[in-house]
Structure 1
Amino acid sequence: MKTLYMVRHAKSSWEYDVIDHQRPLKDKGKNDAMAVSEEVKTSIIPPQKMISSDAVRALTTAHYFKDALEISDADFSTNHDLYDFSGQNVMRIIKGLDNSLDRVMLFGHNHAFTSIANMLGSIPIENVPTCGFFMIEFDTDTWSEIKTGKTVRTIFPRDVK
């Protein structure tokens, strides 16, 4: 069985004159990331690997989860291809994961994450909100063969307030 955890980056700020890739989190985003990561910690078996988009807002969100789940630096990485809004690059990453990994957590962006939640999951999600978490289990031992799985859990900021 393969388990995919996905987290959309927390709420980002438009206050700064920076390119999209460098937008930081708002205070609300930081608070949501802290609250959701703590709730996720009580709900899942930690991933064996975390991979984040290298965009500042996604990477900052990922660090809250990394700390909450006590993931080592060796089991944490970034991948620029997760800075994807269509989902094609994200799917390529998922299908290319090492089969020795059974539980992987990805951090990225919409519309890609909502599309993947609906393409691979078993329940419709109209929109994965900022700092939204979802978990899908697949009845396979090979990442390249995943198709529709079972959406086991969602945790959105509104659920932890």
Structure 2
Amino acid sequence: MKTLILMRHGKSSWEFNVNDKERPLKTRGLNDASLVSKHFLINNTIPEKIFSSPAKRAHETCKIFLKMSEKSENEVTIIEDLYDFNGSNVINFLRNLKDSINSVMIFGHNHAFTSISNIFGDNYIDNLPTSGLVKIIFDTNSWRAIEKGKTELIIIPKELR
């Protein structure tokens, strides 16, 4: 069995004159990321490996999850290829994971995460909102062999407020 958890970054701020990778989270993004992380951690185990896009908004969202799960920031790996908006780099990254890893969590971006949720999950999502989380389970022992899995969980922050 393989488990994939995707969490889209929290709502980002356009208030600052910075490049796209440097955009920080808005207060709502901070709050929603905390709310979703807390809800997820109530009934779910922490994944073996955690990866994040290098974008500030994704990495800040990841740090919120790590803090709530009492994990160290050293336990996240920043992967340049996760700064991806169409999903092909993320899928390539997944298919090249070591099979000794059974569960991963990735912090990243849309449209990639909505697309991947629909490609691999069995529950259609029109749009994964900011701070949204999807958990998909695959009945395989190989990341290279992942195909259609079972969408086990979808957390939408608006539904928790």
CA RMSD of aligned residues (A): 0.9
- 1:68 maps onto 2:71 in alignment: no
What is the distance in 1 between the residues matched to 2:54 and 2:65? 15
Residue identity over aligned pairs, in percent, reads 46
Q: CA deviation at 1:74?
A: 4.7
Indicate the residue corresponding to 1:125 in structure 2: 125
Runs (5+) with no aligned partner, structure 1: none
Indicate the residue corresponding to 2:26 in structure 1: 26
What is the distance in 1 between the residues matched to 2:120 and 2:51? 19
The two structures have a TM-score, normalised by structure 1, of 0.97
Matches within 5 A, 1:28-107: 28-107=28-107
Do the aligned residues in 2 keep the contact of 1:10 with 1:130 (CA within 8 Å)? yes
Cα 1:74–1:22 change in 2 (3 A) is closer
| Matched letter for residue 133 of structure 2 | F
What is the distance in 2 between the residues matched to 1:119 and 1:160? 26
Cα 1:127–1:104 change in 2 (3 A) is same
Runs (5+) with no aligned partner, structure 2: none
Pairs aligned (count): 161
Q: CA deviation at 1:73?
A: 4.2
Do the aligned residues in 2 keep the contact of 1:48 with 1:75 (CA within 8 Å)? no
Q: CA deviation at 1:76?
A: 1.3
Cα 1:154–1:143 change in 2 (3 A) is same
Q: CA deviation at 1:75?
A: 3.1
What is the distance in 2 between the residues matched to 1:131 and 1:77? 19
